[in-house]
Structures are given as C-alpha cells and as structure tokens.
Chains A and B, each alone.
Chain A
Amino acid sequence: SAVISQKPSRDICQRGTSLTIQCQVDSQVTMMFWYRQQPGQSLTLIATANQGSEATYESGFVIDKFPISRPNLTFSTLTVSNMSPEDSSIYLCSVEESTGGYYNEQFFGPGTRLTVL
C-alpha cells in the first residue's frame, strides 16, 4: 500500500491567517482526496484532487476557502484560508491506488491537527 506523509502534523494558527497542508505519496496515484474530521466527529470529504484538472468540491466546501493544488501524481496541497476557530479540525489526505477497478480501498495520511485561536 502507498505510504502517505503530511506536513505539518499539527499547527496552532491565528484567526484570519491561512495554512497550507502538504500531502506526499511514495508512489504515483490518480486520485487523491482531502477530508476534514471535526472534533469528535466522522470524516467529511472536502474535495477530490486529480492531477491535471481542477479539484472537485463537495457541497458546503468552496475553492476560495479551501484551494487545492495537484501538480503531479505524488503530491497535493490543501490551503485553509482566512481561518476561524470553526476550522479547527484534523485534515487528512487519502489516496486510492489505481488498478483499474472501482473497488480499491483508500489509504490515509496521518493527518494534520489544526487549532485556530
């Protein structure tokens, strides 16, 4: 399975600032995903990031707030812009390894724990 790393692992930020989270995979993958896990809650998909195209955002998430880059098949960034305390969450990236089917499991990075003051 793919090995996924995220930077930073955690950060404490001031209201109104922005933070860029990096996700690095040790192999080429077609599909990368960004999730948010708010305190004590389940995972919510923010967007799907495919190389060579704009990210696809889920309902309730917009590009101005969560811009995503996907410059190649092993790397992606998620920026949390103009942060407020409500953005305090764990942000996780995941990948699905491409073997031609629609039934591959997703593998997750360790997450970035963000606290906004």
Chain B
Amino acid sequence: AQSVAQPEDQVNVAEGNPLTVKCTYSVSGNPYLFWYVQYPNRGLQFLLKYITGDNLVKGSYGFEAEFNKSQTSFHLKKPSALVSDSALYFCAVRDMRDYKLSFGAGTTVTVRA
C-alpha cells in the first residue's frame, strides 16, 4: 500500500520569507511524487513531479521540491513566498507499477503581507 503524510495542517509565513511544506511518503516500490496546489473554488493545479534523476526538482511559480530517499521525503520549497501563494497544497505519490495516486491530507499555506 502507498500513503502520504503531510504533518502540518497549516503553514504561516511572511511575504518574502522562505516557504517549506513537508511531505513524507510510503510505497513498496520506486515512488513517483507530485505536488498540486488548490486555490479557493478551483480545481487542482499541477506544480511539479519527481520521477527519476536529480533530487531537486523545479516546477511552476518558482516552486521546487527535494526528493530524499533515505528520509522518504519530498518537501516543497519556495525561496521567497508571495501573498498569492496562499492556497491548499497537496502532496501525492504513486508506485511506479500502479496508476493510482494517493494524496496527503493537504497543508493550508497562508502568506501574510
């Protein structure tokens, strides 16, 4: 079975400060990892993915994520947060042998001006 944990329900940061959203995963095989963002009353938007290769993955809107196999983590980062980054962020994982995505519970990010 595969699963994702997002240990923080909420993350609050000041605009201009670094933003980190944590994610740990569990899969039986090699993981494919994804981050999505959901703005109020909107569907999910794809941010980035890790399949293989460099552990640091760059995605949309200045976001990046670091894959750490030994810690089974895939934390989302942004060097300088914007108020417009305030949204609900979901980490997701799939086993390479399966098409099903498993989502974490989500982390609400609030960036204050």
Residues of A within 8 A of B (CB): 1, 4, 31, 33, 41-43, 45, 48, 92, 94, 96, 102-103, 105-111, 113
Contacts and interface: CB of A to CB of B under 8 A. Distances in A.
Contacts of A4: 43
> Chain B at the A interface: mostly helix, strand, loop or mixed?
loop
Interface of B: 32, 34, 36, 41-46, 49, 51, 90, 94, 96-101, 103-106
A54 to B, nearest CB: 16
Contact of B46 (A92, A107, A109): A107
B43 A92 contact: yes
B43 A102 contact: no
A43 B96 contact: no
Contacts, number: 50
Chain A interface secondary structure, helix, strand, loop or mixed?
strand
Nearest to A58: B100
Contact of B99 (A48, A108, A109): A48
B42 A110 contact: yes
29 contacts: A1-B46, A4-B43, A31-B99, A33-B101, A41-B106, A42-B104, A42-B105, A43-B44, A45-B100, A45-B101, A48-B99, A92-B43, A92-B44, A94-B44, A102-B32, A102-B96, A102-B97, A102-B98, A105-B34, A105-B46, A106-B46, A108-B36, A108-B43, A108-B45, A108-B46, A109-B43, A110-B42, A111-B42, A111-B43
